[in-house]
């Protein structure tokens, strides 16, 4: 059995079930000549369900091992560090302001991935938000959040 | 004559100082992206779309298209010098290009790749001009019925061809279509799957999803591996000799035609074009045993093919509003974000954009020849930049771009969530491009479907009573059944 495909099929079957439950709970609005607003989501759900079921059945029949796209040793800590700082970035971008939050996130990532080079990391953590701010705010006229401190 | 007049008008647009500068920036970024393994062209285009919001759409499209074909040029450099394709379409170039480099012929390999790409890119642009008018004429006669069926065909072929498994490709396309239905229904005003979140009323935008699935996923995948940088040799004599030209001329010609035709087809793409070109060259060669050992035709053919394919992808995108590759799907989404309606009407309503873009393709090809050959030393130096230094910059730019689109923190979270989803999708070999196709084409599909039914007063027979629509739907069914037919034929042969 191809376990990866089996679990993918199962996950999308569950998603199909969830979509159908949400559709059934929605108010009926068949008030014009064509199909209603939930017709297309239903078609999409049926397609997802049918295809995931096919994948599930196929995975049970498969015997060969499936290789991972990642070669060599995995370093999970790095993945988790990036995801955590992405979430922190989202949480702080409006509260701390663009410059401060971007500088903080840049430094946190550089400090982890480019350890020991403190001067380089600090210079880049200051320069990166300023450069991107100038690019977006000044050149492209896209307003960036100012936060508590007014910058 | 009419086409020439329009082309001259296009040149007047593309050669304006601002547009010329954006073209230069686009091809430069494209080459940079192509040179750096791990930073794909789809990531780059998705990340840079928010930066184009302050620009006029013509300049923005000129820059984004420049990134697209610039990456095709740049991808060959790493294939030849370090045996690692910067972009997937350059994978075939590693086979003979790297062997040529080991034999001290990296210069001619890079040279023929650049000249072949230039010839192919120029041919594709000429063909785009030639084919545009008749295709637009046909497309203008299409109603919602034909458009719906054409989109079904595009989704079936694209969803099925992107990735290793047809089922997984289609599953991802269906998932994308579902995501595209979220938000307020434009016909009835009913909320669909918004869970009371006001930011979801407008639906899930393709950009946060694209940035998550491509840029953030790529950063996560690359970060968890130790990046090793190989030593790069010095390069001498970039101009191919007469003997090299004689050996490559038919390979370039064949690669150009193959690449253009495959590029026009939904699901074709530059990678398929370069693979087919390589196989054709090996078949036509008097010395097939030389392939894989440093045959210059093995570089010239695929490199010409992948550039012609990116030009070919512009044909259905501009004339029909149908993307034939993942990158052209993102370009289609960008056009829609600029408030333009891709398709035949684009030629009538936005001639400045269309003809300016076409003229910029000529200019971009010349610029690429200039920046790829004399500046090869700079690109070689860029190969030495560790990904750990770029990682923080790419991530910050990606998230800033997501936020800047609508000044929405929710969209930042959507990007991060899809970055994580994309990471797990890679672990189980689920392709990301069909999801984006589904999100972009899904709402169009639904709109045309409902319009067609309103016109036909609820009769589903309308999709089969219109001949063109019936042909498209039959072709869609055949494309879905093709793997089954091929399997049956192979079984019978055995």
Does some domain include residue A75? Answer: no
Question: What phi, psi does B105 have (nearest 5°)?
Answer: -115, 35
B240 three-state secondary structure:
coil
B196 and chain A: CB distance < 8 Å anywhere? Answer: no
From B403, B420, B454, residue closest to A93, measured CB to CB: B403
Question: In terms of domains, do A56 and A99 share one?
Answer: no
Whole-number pLDDT of residue A117: 83
Question: What phi, psi does B40 have (nearest 5°)?
Answer: -75, 165
What is the interface pTM, i.e. ipTM, of the complex? 0.90
Most confident of A27-36, A103-112, B36-45, B282-291: A103-112
Question: In terms of domains, do A93 and A151 share one?
Answer: yes
Query: What does the pLDDT look like over A86-101, one tens digit per residue?
Result: 999 999 999 999 999 9
Does some domain include residue A71? Answer: no
Q: Which residue in B has a C-alpha nearest to residue A141's C-alpha?
A: B54
Q: Which of B338, B330, B106 is nearest to B235 (CA)?
A: B106
CA separation for the pair B353, B334 (Å, rounded) = 13
What domain range is A106 assigned to?
88-151
Query: What does the pLDDT look like over B17-52, one tens digit per residue?
Result: 999 999 999 998 888 887 776 667 777 888 888 888
Longest dimension (CA), chain B: 70
For residue A22, the distance in angstroms to the closest alpha carbon of chain B comes to 8
First to last CA, chain B: 56
CA separation for the pair B249, B304 (Å, rounded) = 11
What is chain B's pLDDT, residue by residue, as a tens digit (494 residues)?
677 888 899 999 999 999 999 999 999 888 888 777 666 777 788 888 888 877 889 999 999 988 888 887 777 887 788 776 666 777 788 888 888 888 888 888 888 988 998 899 899 988 988 888 888 888 888 889 998 998 898 888 776 656 568 889 889 999 999 999 999 887 778 889 988 888 888 888 888 998 899 889 888 888 876 555 454 456 677 778 888 889 888 999 999 999 998 888 766 677 778 888 988 888 888 888 888 888 999 999 999 998 898 888 888 888 888 887 778 888 888 888 888 888 888 888 888 999 999 999 889 888 988 887 777 777 777 777 777 777 888 899 889 888 888 888 999 999 999 999 999 998 898 988 889 888 988 888 898 898 898 888 888 899 999 999 999 999 888 888 877 777 778 777 76
B171 and chain A: CB distance < 8 Å anywhere? Answer: yes
Question: In terms of domains, do A9 and A46 share one?
Answer: yes
DSSP one-letter string for B191-239 = EES-TT-GGGTT---HHHHHIIIIIIHHHHHHHTSPPPPPPPPP----S
**How far, in Å, are B1, B131, B248 from residue B5 at the CA level?**
6, 16, 34
Helices (H) and strands (E) in chain B, counts: 23, 2
For residue A30, the distance in angstroms to the closest alpha carbon of chain B comes to 9
A75 and chain B: CB distance < 8 Å anywhere? Answer: yes
CA separation for the pair A45, A42 (Å, rounded) = 5
In A, residues 88-117, which contact B (CB 8 Å cutoff)? 89-91, 93-94, 98, 102, 105-106, 109-110, 113-114
A2 three-state secondary structure:
coil
Instruction: Choose, out of B48, B169, B171, the residue to mutate when testing the contact with A (most A CBs < 10 Å).
Output: B171
Q: Which of B474, B431, B413 is nearest to B162 (CA)?
A: B431
Q: Which residue in B has a C-alpha nearest to residue A58's C-alpha?
A: B167
From B177, B395, B453, residue closest to A44, measured CB to CB: B177
A35 CB neighbours in chain B (<8 A) are 449-450, 453
For residue B371, how many C-alpha atoms fall within 13 Å in the half-sphere facing its CB?
Answer: 23
B338 three-state secondary structure:
coil
Q: How many domains does chain A have?
A: 2
B169 CB neighbours in chain A (<8 A) are none
Q: Is B176 exposed, middle or buried (0-12, 13-18, 19+ CB in 10 A)?
A: buried
Confidence class for position A14, pLDDT limits 50, 70, 90: very high
Q: Which of B120, B26, B43 is nearest to B327 (CA)?
A: B43
Question: In terms of domains, do A57 and A93 share one?
Answer: no
What domain range is B59 assigned to?
2-493
CB pairs under 8 A between A and B: 188
Compute the Cα dihedral for B240, B246, B249, B254 and give only its sign: negative
Q: How many domains does chain B have?
A: 1
R_g over Cα of chain A: 24
Q: The tokens 């064949």 sit on which residue? A: B254
The percent helix, strand, coil of chain B (3-state, each to 5) is 75, 0, 25
Question: In terms of domains, do A35 and A93 share one?
Answer: no
CA separation for the pair B482, B160 (Å, rounded) = 10
Q: Which residue in A has a C-alpha nearest to residue B184's C-alpha?
A: A37
Question: Which residues make Cβ contacts (< 8 Å) with residue B317, sequence separation at least 6?
Answer: B323, B324, B328, B331, B332, B342
Question: In terms of domains, do A55 and A97 share one?
Answer: no
Residues B60-83 as b/e (b if ≥16 CB within 10 A, e otherwise) read bbbbbbbbbbbbbbbbbbbbbbbb
Whole-number pLDDT of residue B356: 92
């Amino acid at each position: 059995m191809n376990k990866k495909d089996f679990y993918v099929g199962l996950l999308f079957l569950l998603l199909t079930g969830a979509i159908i439950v949400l559709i059934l709970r929605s108010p009926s609005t068949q008030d014009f000549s064509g199909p209603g607003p939930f017709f297309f989501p239903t078609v999409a759900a049926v397609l997802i369900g049918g295809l995931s079921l096919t994948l599930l059945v196929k995975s049970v029949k498969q015997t060969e091992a499936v290789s991972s796209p990642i070669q060599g040793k995995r370093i999970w800590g790095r993945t988790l560090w990036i995801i955590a700082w992405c979430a922190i970035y989202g949480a702080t971008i409006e509260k701390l302001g663009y410059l401060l939050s971007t500088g903080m996130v840049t430094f946190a990532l550089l400090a982890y991935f480019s350890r020991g080079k403190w001067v380089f990391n600090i210079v880049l953590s200051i320069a990166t938000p300023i450069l991107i701010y100038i690019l977006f705010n000044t050149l492209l006229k896209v307003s960036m959040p100012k936060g508590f401190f007014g910058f | 004559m009419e086409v020439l007049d329009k082309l001259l008008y296009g040149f007047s647009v593309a050669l304006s100082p601002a547009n010329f500068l954006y073209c230069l920036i686009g091809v430069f970024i494209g080459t940079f992206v192509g040179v750096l393994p791990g930073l794909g062209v789809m990531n780059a285009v998705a990340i840079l779309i928010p930066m184009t919001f302050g620009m006029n759409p013509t300049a923005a499209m000129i820059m984004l298209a420049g990134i697209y074909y610039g990456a095709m040029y740049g991808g060959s450099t790493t294939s030849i010098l370090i045996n690692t394709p910067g972009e997937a379409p350059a994978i075939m170039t590693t086979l003979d290009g790297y062997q040529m480099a080991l034999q001290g012929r990296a210069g001619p390999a890079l040279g023929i790749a650049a000249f072949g790409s230039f010839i192919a890119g120029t041919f594709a642009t000429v063909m785009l001009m030639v084919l545009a008018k008749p295709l637009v004429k046909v497309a203008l006669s299409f109603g919602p019925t034909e458009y719906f069926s054409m989109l079904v065909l595009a989704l079936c072929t694209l969803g099925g061809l992107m990735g290793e498994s047809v089922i997984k490709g289609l599953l991802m396309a269906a998932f994308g279509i579902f995501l595209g239905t979220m938000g307020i229904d434009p016909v009835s005003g009913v909320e669909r799957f918004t869970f009371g979140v006001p930011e979801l009323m407008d639906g899930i935008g393709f950009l946060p999803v694209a940035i998550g699935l491509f840029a953030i996923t790529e950063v996560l995948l690359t970060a968890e591996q130790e990046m090793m940088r190989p030593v790069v040799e010095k390069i001498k004599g970039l101009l191919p000799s007469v003997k090299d030209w004689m050996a490559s001329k038919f390979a370039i010609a064949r690669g150009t035609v193959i690449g253009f035709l495959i590029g026009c087809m939904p699901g074709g793409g530059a990678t398929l074009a370069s693979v087919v070109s390589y196989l054709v060259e090996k078949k036509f060669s008097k010395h097939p045993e030389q392939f894989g050992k440093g045959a210059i035709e093995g570089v010239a053919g695929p490199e010409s093919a992948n550039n012609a394919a990116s030009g070919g992808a512009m044909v259905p995108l501009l004339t029909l509003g149908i993307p034939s590759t993942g990158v052209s799907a993102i370009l289609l989404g960008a056009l829609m974000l600029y408030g333009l309606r891709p398709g035949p009407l684009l030629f009538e309503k936005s001639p400045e954009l269309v003809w300016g873009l076409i003229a910029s393709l000529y200019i971009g090809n010349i610029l690429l020849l200039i920046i790829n050959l004399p500046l090869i030393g700079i690109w070689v130096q860029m190969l030495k930049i560790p990904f750990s230094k770029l990682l923080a910059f790419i991530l910050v730019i990606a998230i800033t771009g997501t936020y800047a689109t609508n000044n929405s923190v929710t969209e930042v979270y959507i990007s991060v969530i899809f970055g994580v989803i994309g990471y797990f999708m890679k672990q189980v070999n689920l392709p990301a491009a069909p999801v984006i196709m589904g999100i972009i084409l899904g709402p169009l599909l639904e709109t045309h479907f409902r319009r067609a039914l309103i016109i036909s007063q609820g009769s589903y027979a309308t999709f089969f009573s219109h001949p063109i629509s019936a042909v498209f739907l039959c072709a869609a069914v055949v494309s879905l059944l093709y793997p089954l037919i091929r399997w049956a034929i192979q079984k019978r042969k055995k």
